[in-house]
Amino acid sequence: MKFIAKTLHGLENVLARELLFLGAGEVERINRAVSFSGDMELLYKANLHLRTALRIIQPVHHFEAYNEDRLYTEVYNFDWFPFLKINQTFAIDATVSSDRFRHSKYVALKTKDAIVDQFRKRIGRRPSIDTENPDVRINIHVFKTSFTISLDSSGDSLHKRGYRMRAHPAPLNEVLAAGMIKLSGWTPDQVLVDPMCGSGTLLIEAAMQARNIPPAPRNRRFGFQNWKNYDPDLWKKLLSDSRDQIKEPDLQIMGFDQEQYALDITKESLLKFRLERFVSLRKRNFFKMDPPAEAGIIVTNPPYGERIGTGDMEAFYERIGDHLKQNWTGWEAWIISSNMEALKRFGLRPSKKLVLFNGPLECKFQQFEMYSGSRKNKESSD
């Protein structure tokens, strides 16, 4: 069976590696997604374990349509009875990139009409619509005149981990944070510091990865659990296996922030997933901090000046770079920001530059190495 795992721009390679680790076949990177093949057990595992996927869909029908009548006919003639029960609710999500079909809501409406008309014709009744919490979520993707209808196996977006207890003004998407940790190359034997941790998303994602805790909440219900071919015994076995695979490593994960409110949010989230023993928190101004160890990795999401202001952002970023150069020798830092002008003032030459998106904001995710002497001396010694 073929599946597609959706992700954020820039995380396709990370997601592909996660899928290969789970045993997926025919893994292929596409735009903001990865296609793969496998059985239902792999689909269950993917929903349970993937950290950089937003949702996983199963394509069930492909067709070409040049007008709304053809769209209706193709959907109406497809047999929906293996996928949807009369007493179940459903919803349609449409994504449209086409000159002929310009409105996603209209495409979704025509698709809904065709499905319910098929049920009325065959059994005299129809399933109901529930846009908020449907039993079955159907995805329709339109590119020019090519249509792909898929079943959404995830239900809610997989970025909803369940540990956010209170809102923070500028939280990172959990999938983005997980991807940043993986892209940084951090391993559990290294010290990890987020000196501007906010609500602690990076810290929590790192601790969950190190402990091999599945990113999904324990009580989460996935879309595939409402499918007709759902195997509850297999799902129970996979959940049991995942609990047995949780690790108890010695971790040095440290979060700092100058706002007590942010640290309180982080602490609540850590308690929710029983991670408080693995992450230390302290109220501290980054510019007054000394490194907690001789070497380690910083991964952080400083303010961009979009939703949280810190006055002169360019001067703020220059101070960050100066502080790292002068006080954090032997460390490497990964910084994400959408403020390109401020990043130019960092004063350090990045070793790596990656493009990621934090919501609608295009960001640079850059690695900086703080070593003694010049880069030329560093490179000649490697």
Both tokens assigned to 302:
């400083």
Classify strands 146-152 and 136-143 as parallel, antiparallel or unpaired.
Answer: antiparallel
Answer yes or no: are the C-beta atoms of 197 and 302 closer than 8 Å. Answer: no
Both structure tokens of 288: 């007054």
What the chain holds in terms of domains, given with CATH numbers, is 2-152 (3.30.2130.30), 174-211+248-381 (3.40.50.150)
Sheet holding 253-257, edge to edge: 279-283, 253-257, 192-194, 297-300, 332-337, 361-369, 352-358
Q: Are strands 297-300 and 136-143 parallel, antiparallel or unpaired?
A: unpaired
Could you give the CA distance from residue 125 to residue 212 in angstroms, rounded to a whole number? 46
Say if residues 147 and 65 touch (Cβ distance below 8 Å).
yes
pLDDT of residue 374: 43
Q: H or E stretch including 281?
A: strand 279-283
Backbone angles phi, psi at 337, to 5 degrees: -165, 150
Q: What is the mean pLDDT of the chain?
A: 92
Cα 108 to Cα 104: distance, rounded to the nearest angstrom: 6
What is the C-alpha to C-alpha distance for residues 278 and 206, in angstroms, rounded to an integer? 10
Which residues are CB-contacts of 44 (< 8 A; sequence separation ≥ 6)? 222, 224, 234, 235, 238
H or E element: which one contains 20? Answer: helix 12-22
Q: Who contacts 329 (Cβ-Cβ below 8 Å, separation ≥6)? A: 370, 371, 372
Q: What angle do CA 246, 252, 255 make, to 5 degrees?
A: 105
Kindly give the confidence (pLDDT) of every residue in the chain, 382 residues in length, as a single tens digit, with 9 standing for 90 and above.
999 999 999 999 999 999 999 999 999 999 999 999 999 999 999 999 999 999 999 999 999 999 999 999 999 999 999 999 999 999 999 999 999 998 999 999 999 999 999 999 999 999 999 998 999 999 999 999 999 999 999 999 999 998 876 666 667 999 999 999 999 999 999 999 999 999 999 999 999 999 999 998 878 999 999 999 999 999 999 999 999 999 999 999 999 999 999 999 999 999 988 899 999 999 999 999 999 999 999 999 998 875 545 458 889 999 999 999 999 999 999 999 999 999 998 989 999 999 999 989 999 999 999 976 544 444 444 4
Closest by CA to 208, choosing from 246, 165, 257, 158, is 246
Render pLDDT for 48-80 as a digit per residue (tens, 0 to 9): 999 999 999 999 999 999 999 999 999 999 999
Q: What is the DSSP string of 191-224?
A: -EEETT-TT-HHHHHHHHHHHT--SS-TT---GG
Read off the tokens for 80.
């929906």
CA nearest neighbour of 183 among 378, 35, 15: 15
Please give the Cα distance from 255 to 43 (Å, whole number): 34
